Structure 1
Amino acid sequence: MQPAVEHAIEAMWDRYEEPLTLSEMAAAASLSRFHFSRVFRSLTGTSPCRFLAAVRLSKAKDTLLQTSRNVTEIAYEVGYNSLGTFTSRFTRSVGVSPARYRQLSRSGMPVPLPAAVPGARGVVRGLVGLPEPAGPLRIYIGAFDSPIAQGMPVACDVLDAPGRFRLEGVPDGAWFIRAAAVPLRDVDPRPWKRKPLFVGALEPLHIRREKTLDLDLELHPLGLLDLPVLIALPELDSAELPEVVERVIGSERRTHPRPARSERPAPRASVDLLTSPRCA
């Protein structure tokens, strides 16, 4: 079933701007709606509609960095018919507003360390491993409240090589551990090109206060089944290259001029798949 689901995900990346229904996504996999939803969730950890929503926001991130188009135009281009919905969802998922995200691409941004919360919390610690030798890497690890790496993690750690990590102050509850590794050598100064080489995931861990959970986290090469990383890192962790980034971004944007107002895509009849009954 994996090739069928991968074919559907390819369709999402190719047709993200269209108001795709669950039936259309299932048809791309040559499966019934029910069977497709069940298999898709088992392989990706989330529903087809939430995966598509993540793809759209990932595309919006790239477009914000590569072009000078305004936020309204980008919202329509990635399949939203409401600027307010797009902006609020982008801000909640990426951690900053679309305009701030574009601004930070020129200077980089610090690792978002969660604020300390009083009271006894749990600890998740362990060893990060790679399936194959690789050059110098920076590895981001965080605990999130959903399968998608989005918003502010409740705890995080950053390593400059595979090794031991530690997530402090994890609240009681079920948390998803997500990791992404990017190269530290020959870094492309264009932030939209700074995609993870390896990713890792642990399905919900049930954390209890004053308890320490030991585990190993094995990374694997980024593949079609892996959810996009929506949080602003790692692509904006480029503060060491601000002048080069600004020069390259400015050059790239000049080659992607803003389209005339008449060329803006028309609003779509039904695009918000997270609330559409067709994707329940």
Structure 2
Amino acid sequence: MTLPDSALPTQWQQPLQAFLHYLQFERGYSSKTLDSYQRQLQQLALSISDPARHWLNLSEAQLKQHIIAMRRSGAKPRTIALKVAALRSFYRYLQAQGQRSDNPALYLSVPKAARSLPKNLDVDQLNHLLSFDSQDDILACRDKAMLELFYSSGLRLEELVNANISDIDWSQQLLRVTGKGSKQRIVPVGSVALNALRDWLAQRPAFSAKLAEEDTDALFISKQHKRISSRHVRERVQLWAKQQGLNQKLHPHMLRHSFASHMLESSQDLRAVQELLGHANLSTTQVYTHLDFAHLAKVYDSAHPRAKKK
């Protein structure tokens, strides 16, 4: 990780190179992250015209001026946040090295980025997606079971991939799920999804003959005789979206979003949806109330006589 020869004067370049070396060899940061940190810090250094200045004597006020200039130039909140994060990390490193007694980037303010609403499919789109025939094709049978389970129980991608046959309670119509932080929760499984799972498990032996011991209980496996991967699931979800003519890029998390949105629209029970999704904080689930409101606002704008544009 080296800067161009003439990019920065020595007093700027040496501390930055030492910082990048620390991130690479002691913290194990990826080359992509290193490139980002280098770019963010180099841009600031090149913007300082005073030759007497360098990292060790920049003030909080000077860093603020740089951030203000970024905002005035139209930089996006995320870009500014990356800059501030790089500065805070760099000056924290200089503090640890005993080269600075303070962190001038610690209290830099970052503009809030607009929170994008999760995209979801409406009920008609979901019904159309799941309407394909899976009787005579083992892969279609497996994929239908995966899609039905995604939508039935609002699973995350990793939760579906890591699901085991022994996690299913057929009599109670429940599934034990291991979510983020290895936390377990119990989620209901709808009858349509259970039937799709039964159909798949009847076909599963065709793929299970050479399974490794650690994959013998895996709920979903591939024709390569191993537990299905996250990448493979993404590819199959996109394949069926295309096959069913949805005319949009579909990823597994959109099925989770659709589950949450449809449950909230029908039940209006935010706490129950939080439990079903396995969210630690209610604020994470509340984004779906905004999604519901966005739908209501759209209906209002199109239907109310006083809302229509002349």
The interval holding the TM-score normalised by the smaller chain is under 0.3
Structure 1 or 2: more strand by fraction:
1
The normalised TM-score by structure 1 is 0.25
The normalised TM-score by structure 2 is 0.23
Of structures 1 and 2, the one scoring higher in RCO (CA 8 A, sep 6+) is 1
